[in-house]
């Protein structure tokens, strides 16, 4: 397939990754902490937001130009399109009473010449988890907010030359990029070919409102390793039990003379 006009050639053998977050945040209406605005229907119980943004609120509009949010058809103007504004997340604010699946369609900057990507996110209005303890922990940690966030990494395989330049030419962070320890930063580094590359980093540690970090990643890796070890131990125990049962079965058969001449 020929590249789109003006797209140039693809940069062979190159893969560039950009992290981002998408999801929903909901809060129940409360007279003190979250009063219901005038004009909101009586049966609406929560205010909520669906969004796409950078990790630690870093700017992602240099590669993402538009997000289409398709809400439940019962909501007026249920298809919302949010255009890029540097330094701001792509988000829609609404109120309601029910949970449903939201379709998110990501449109990249025109220089990418890439097709839009579709994601799906379920709106959560109520605490969820495997146990009541997990639900309560979520409720306490988020001060009544119910978050349903997904960490994602956008992978651009062999991007077209103009888009590659956008992704790699900006060695310095944009003016609104956060600075300081623990913040997501842009770094300068040389690739093997000597090209200066811009890369969004993930924070080293968690902080309030920002649950995704290298610390979180390491905790998840630890959980996976512990779960793997537990499964392997269980499998070994079951194999040993099976071996003993088969051995006992052979003994019983021998005692009963089954299988002997």
**What share of the chain in percent tops pLDDT 70?**
75
Residue 256 dihedral angles phi and psi, to the nearest 5°: -85, -5
- Contact assessment for residue 191 and residue 197, using Cβ atoms and an 8 Å cutoff: yes
Element (H, E) at 241: helix 214-256
Residue 173 scores a pLDDT above 50: no
- Tokens encoding 181: 């320890």
- Contact assessment for residue 91 and residue 51, using Cβ atoms and an 8 Å cutoff: yes
Query: What are the tens digits of pLDDT across the range 95-144?
Result: 999 999 999 999 999 999 999 999 999 999 988 766 666 665 555 555 67
Residue 4 — pLDDT band, cuts 50, 70, 90? low
Query: What are the tens digits of pLDDT across the range 56-95?
Result: 888 899 999 999 999 999 999 999 999 999 889 999 999 9
Question: Which residues are bridge partners to 81 per DSSP?
Answer: 68
* CA gap 13, 16 in Å, rounded: 10
Q: What pLDDT, on the 0 to 100 scale, is given for residue 136? A: 58
Query: What are the tens digits of pLDDT across the range 207-221?
Result: 666 777 777 778 778
- Tokens encoding 120: 């799906």
Residue 49 scores a pLDDT above 80: yes
């Amino acid at each position: 397939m020929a590249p789109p006009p003006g797209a140039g050639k693809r940069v062979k053998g190159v893969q560039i990754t950009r992290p981002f977050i998408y999801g929903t945040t909901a809060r129940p209406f409360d007279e003190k902490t979250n009063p219901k605005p005038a004009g909101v229907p009586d049966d609406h119980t929560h205010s909520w937001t669906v969004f796409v943004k950078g990790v630690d609120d870093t700017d992602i509009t240099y590669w993402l130009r538009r997000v289409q949010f398709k809400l439940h058809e019962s909501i007026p103007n249920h298809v919302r399109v949010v255009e890029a504004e540097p330094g701001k997340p792509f988000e829609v604010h609404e109120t309601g009473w029910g949970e449903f699946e939201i379709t998110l369609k990501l449109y990249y900057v025109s220089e990418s010449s890439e097709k839009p990507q579709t994601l799906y996110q379920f709106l959560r209005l109520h605490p969820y988890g495997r146990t009541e303890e997990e639900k309560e922990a979520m409720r306490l940690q988020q001060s009544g907010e119910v978050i349903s966030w997904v960490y994602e990494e956008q992978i651009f395989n062999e991007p077209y030359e103009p888009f590659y330049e956008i992704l790699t030419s900006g060695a310095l962070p944009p003016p609104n990029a956060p600075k300081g320890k623990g913040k997501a930063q842009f770094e300068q580094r040389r690739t093997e070919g000597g090209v200066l590359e811009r890369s969004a980093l993930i924070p080293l540690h968690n902080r309030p409102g920002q649950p995704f970090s290298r610390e979180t990643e390491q905790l998840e890796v630890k959980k996976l390793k512990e779960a793997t070890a537990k499964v392997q131990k269980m499998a070994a125990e079951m194999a040993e039990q099976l071996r003993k049962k088969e051995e006992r079965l052979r003994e019983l058969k021998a005692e009963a003379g089954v299988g002997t001449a």
